[in-house]
Chains A and B, each alone.
Chain A
Amino acid sequence: MVAVCDVDEKHRNRAKKLIDDRYGNKDCKTYLNLRELIARQDIDALSLALPDHWHSIPAITGARAGKDMYAEKPLARTIHEGRAMANAVHRYGVVWQTGSQQRSSGNFHRACELVRNGRIGKVYKVEVGLPTGRGGNTLPAAPVPEGLDWDWWLGPALWRPYQAFGRNGPHWDWRWIMDFSGGQLTDWAGHHIDIAHWGLGLERTGPVEIGGKGVYPKDGIYNTPTAYKFTCKYANGVVMIVANNKQIPQGTKWYGENGWIYVRRGKLQADPPDVLNETIGPNEIKLYESRDHQGNFLECVKSRKETVAPIEIGHRSISVGLLGEIAMLTEQKLRWDPDKERFIGNDTANRMLLRPMRGPWHI
């Protein structure tokens, strides 16, 4: 670790101290401007952990500079940005790991492998439960906390004054403001929808039809949906229902003609239960095995092989969440072309595929 970049001085210095203490020196460089950091020729890889609205710019700038990247999910704030990111990573052949770490966890891998090998028969439905959101108070404009560069924090998002939302600055609760994130839905889509796709073998495509309804806070600073439920149909007839965990239990549950498999963190269940005792034969589908998500990335940086959560898959996972977001915002049943990545015959929905960026920012 040779350098850190953060728009909050406190966080920047804390990260530097962590690294310097580890190495017993003072060599870690600090940056406010990520362009300066990425321009450094001696840096091979980046670890990106930023709010969603700040995902695409560093990823694309990094790919152009040939950096390998471990980047937090969800892949991007919009489908348009996600596609541009995936194209850039492919163009330059850099190694990319999406931070959907459930892929490197035994339970999830096991569940997906069982489903993929037909242990519950042909799957016709999958239910995905994600956390429920919350509203917030109306907040006055406030002075920017010392050491925080608010203009950099906003980056490509539309300008707004600093408001004291969240705990200890804006670093966590930006998730509930639509300019920066899609709420619990998009925070978690990169996990349980990602797993649903993995089990179905639909991780490099998307649904063809989406419709649903969300409940949005009518007032207050937060505006992402608190409750939500939408249904996606895939070209092969499989239906995916995504909802907050008050409507569907949190996790992923596949329904096949012979039973079901349910998985979430710390839990794996099936009906009939002996499905879980099944072994996968030598000639059956073996899913990519990783038991350490960061470790898998570092191995791939050396081997130049594909990671367990490559960018196209990360893009397709969050796309489902983002499609659901648009279906709920338009309250219309939408038809989607997963190849062209455009809605069919709906100009309103197509406009929502991108969020125009502020001033100097572009991808």
Chain B
Amino acid sequence: MYRSMRFARIALVVTCSFSLLLSCAWADIPANEVEKIEQAAPAKPTVEPAKHRKLLVFDLCKGFKHGSIPYIDKALQVMGEKTGAYEAVVSNDMLMFKSENLNQFDAVCFNNTTRLKFDEPLRDSLMRFVKGGKGIVGIHAATDNFYDWPEAAKMMGGQFCGHPWGGGGTWAIKIDEPDHPLTAAFKGKGFKIKDEIYRTKEPFYSRAQQLVLMSLDMSDEATRKRAEQPSDKDTGISWVKTYGKGRVFYCSLGHNNEIAWNPAILRHYLDGIQFALGDYKVDTKPRPMVSSGKGSEMEQLLAKVKTYDWGQSRLALTELSDKIKEAYGSPGKLREFEKGLMGVLESDAPYAGKQWACRKLSIIGTEQCVPTVAKMLTDEKLSDMARYALERIPGDAVDVALIANLNKARGKARIGIVNTLGERRCPVAAPMIAKLVDNEDELLACAAAAALGKIGGSEATKALAKAKDKASGKLRPVVLDAYLKCADQLVADGKKKQAYAIYKELYDPDMPAIIRTAALRGMVSVTGAGTKEK
């Protein structure tokens, strides 16, 4: 069942001030690997410790002994020293759990301990330690303990029951909480790793009792293929929880020695340890699984959007909407929803489903969705919904896409693009829009003039100055209004002289009375009431 150990274990026994036996060094980690650990360890603490912190690193095994134990012991010590986040004390003596010994520590890290048994006084001592407000850290086989002590298994948040994903394979991990500070080490992105993955069983492992930070990504074929049971689709990798007043952080990675010099994993360990020590305040509220994994809740809801049509129940839409709302302010999670909505647009979903997706993208969309949405811009039927999304999404990518489609689109789709560029006040678009002010389609010409008025600036002003003498009919008031707006914009920018010149031009006796009124108002605003020029 278990792989054989790669290294013989040689414990050096030293006597500490408590006259307890502590194993604290492993003579046979090759120097070059120690060096790797030292280099990979973070240089600084994630947060400054509030006070001197002590971490008990416990590594006793009553069952299988992992070869990685000395490596991870070393890494934990090095990190503590290098960052100053804590002082690590490594031990395999059960007497450390006696209250008088335990209480000097801020947290206990179970480094690959196996089949530990606690007698009554020690159980009481450990539970009081945690529930009273201290921390627990579990690494890899930390869940392979407490088989006769369900309360402790519950505290840890899982109990080992097999590892279909062996240490020789490479497995995909997805980040369930991409915006959570404890996944910052992975920058919100899932990754692949060569390590052994523990399966932990219900009821101890439960998304209702802990906040799962990352888990196996079943959308990866190799990872999915090893799954044996329905429950394997949710295999937690890291989690946090509160227990009484205390804090628990567990990370399932730590079987292979290489983990000890993986910079991202070490950072993740450190973040979790600082949380357990009480220095790093992070959210621990449990949440159900939301993921891009096959068959996830989000996938199921998106599948319903893909068949949604007018006159159908919109319950699924409401449910997905609420989930998106919960993710507002969490960019990483929103990116997952965004991808899902893009999938709706790329599918053969009915018009109503695609429109709904565009409504959501208008609120959460980023540059990521622009290419997908922009494909709809030239389609007269789909263009409105595409612009509904794009008009509200900040960033140059949207402007570039709109400009690229401006002269490809026809009819109302083209007018719409002009309008959206106007609302976005996109100055780069001004020269192209200027060419449309004298278009024979009056609606397009009006849209172009109005857009130039919103954009303002020298290109727009020049074009409108030229157009004002030629425009007639319904176009004329729009052009003059836009020209006035350019002058108003100049006032706002402090260019009063230029603005005054435009107002004066529009105060011409040949202008409609209403334009003269507005121009006069402008002149007064520039010069101040009661001056000669009024």
Contacts and interface: CB of A to CB of B under 8 A. Distances in A.
Given A141-B310, A332-B329, A348-B363, A361 B355 contact: no
Contact of B422 (A65, A88, A362): A362
A296 B243 CA distance: 68
B89 interface: no
A140 B513 contact: no
B394 A347 contact: yes
A362 B419 contact: yes
Interface string A38-81: 01000000000000000000000000111000000000000000
B509 to A, nearest CB: 16
A362 B517 contact: no
Nearest to A39: B474
A347 B363 CA distance: 9
B525 to A, nearest CB: 10
Interface string A128-153: 00000000001111000000000000
A35 B450 CA distance: 15
Given A359-B413, A362-B422, A92 B518 contact: yes
B517 A360 contact: no
B248 interface: no
- Secondary structure type dominating chain A contacts: loop
Given A64-B478, A357-B419, A362 B385 contact: no
B477 A65 contact: yes
A215 to B, nearest CB: 12
Contact of A219 (B314, B352, B443): B314
Interface residues of B, number: 51
B252 interface: no
Nearest to A161: B310
A140 B312 CA distance: 7
A357 B415 CA distance: 11
A13 interface: no
Nearest to B388: A356
Contacts of B313: 138, 219
A358 interface: yes
A93 interface: yes
B389 to A, nearest CB: 8
B521 A160 contact: no
Which of A93, A330, A347 has the most chain B CB atoms closer than 10 A to its own CB?
Answer: A347
A93 B315 contact: no
A64 B477 contact: yes
A361 B450 CA distance: 11
A352 interface: yes
Contacts of A163: 310-311
A362 B447 contact: yes
Interface in A90-116: 91-94
Given A91-B518, A330-B325, A332-B328, A361 B318 contact: no
Contacts of A158: 355, 359, 384-385, 388
A361 B419 CA distance: 8
B292 interface: no
B403 to A, nearest CB: 17
A348 B364 contact: yes
Contacts of B310: 140-141, 160-161, 163
Contacts of A159: 355, 384
Which of B477, B484, B517 has the most chain A CB atoms closer than 10 A to its own CB?
Answer: B477
A138 B311 contact: yes
Contacts of B393: 351
Which of A35, A64, A159, A347 has the most chain B CB atoms closer than 10 A to its own CB?
Answer: A64
Contacts of B387: 356
Contacts of B517: 66, 92-93
B194 interface: no
Contacts of A361: 419
A218 interface: yes
Interface string B368-388: 000000000000000111011
A27 interface: no
A348 B328 contact: yes
Nearest to A66: B514
A93 B525 CA distance: 13
Interface in A201-221: 216, 218-220
A277 B512 CA distance: 53
A94 B393 CA distance: 35
A354 B352 CA distance: 21
A362 B518 contact: no
B412 A359 contact: yes
Contacts of A363: 450
A75 to B, nearest CB: 19
A356 B392 contact: yes
Interface string A326-340: 000111100000000
A218 B319 CA distance: 8
A120 B450 CA distance: 49
Interface in B124-166: none
A354 B387 CA distance: 13
Given A92-B518, A138-B311, A219-B313, A359 B363 contact: no
Contacts of A352: 363
Interface in A288-334: 329-332
Which of B310, B329, B480, B512 has the most chain A CB atoms closer than 10 A to its own CB?
Answer: B310
Contacts of A88: 481
Contacts of A139: 311
B269 to A, nearest CB: 33
B392 A351 contact: yes
A356 B312 contact: no
Nearest to B364: A348
Nearest to B387: A356
Interface in B414-434: 415-416, 419-420, 422-423
A332 B477 CA distance: 42
B521 A91 contact: yes
Contacts of A220: 314
Given A92-B514, A92-B518, A331 B328 contact: yes
B238 interface: no
A218 B362 contact: no
A137 B329 CA distance: 33
Contacts of B478: 64
Which of B313, B325, B384 has the most chain A CB atoms closer than 10 A to its own CB?
Answer: B384
A141 B351 CA distance: 13
Nearest to B422: A362
Interface of A: 35, 39, 64-66, 88, 91-94, 138-141, 158-161, 163, 216, 218-220, 329-332, 347-348, 351-352, 354, 356-363
8 contacts: A91-B481, A93-B521, A163-B311, A329-B325, A351-B362, A352-B363, A354-B392, A359-B384
Closest 3 CB pairs of A and B: A66-B514, A359-B412, A140-B311
Given A354-B391, A360-B415, 16 more contacts: A39-B473, A64-B477, A64-B478, A65-B514, A93-B517, A159-B384, A160-B352, A161-B310, A220-B314, A348-B364, A356-B362, A356-B387, A359-B383, A359-B384, A361-B419, A362-B450
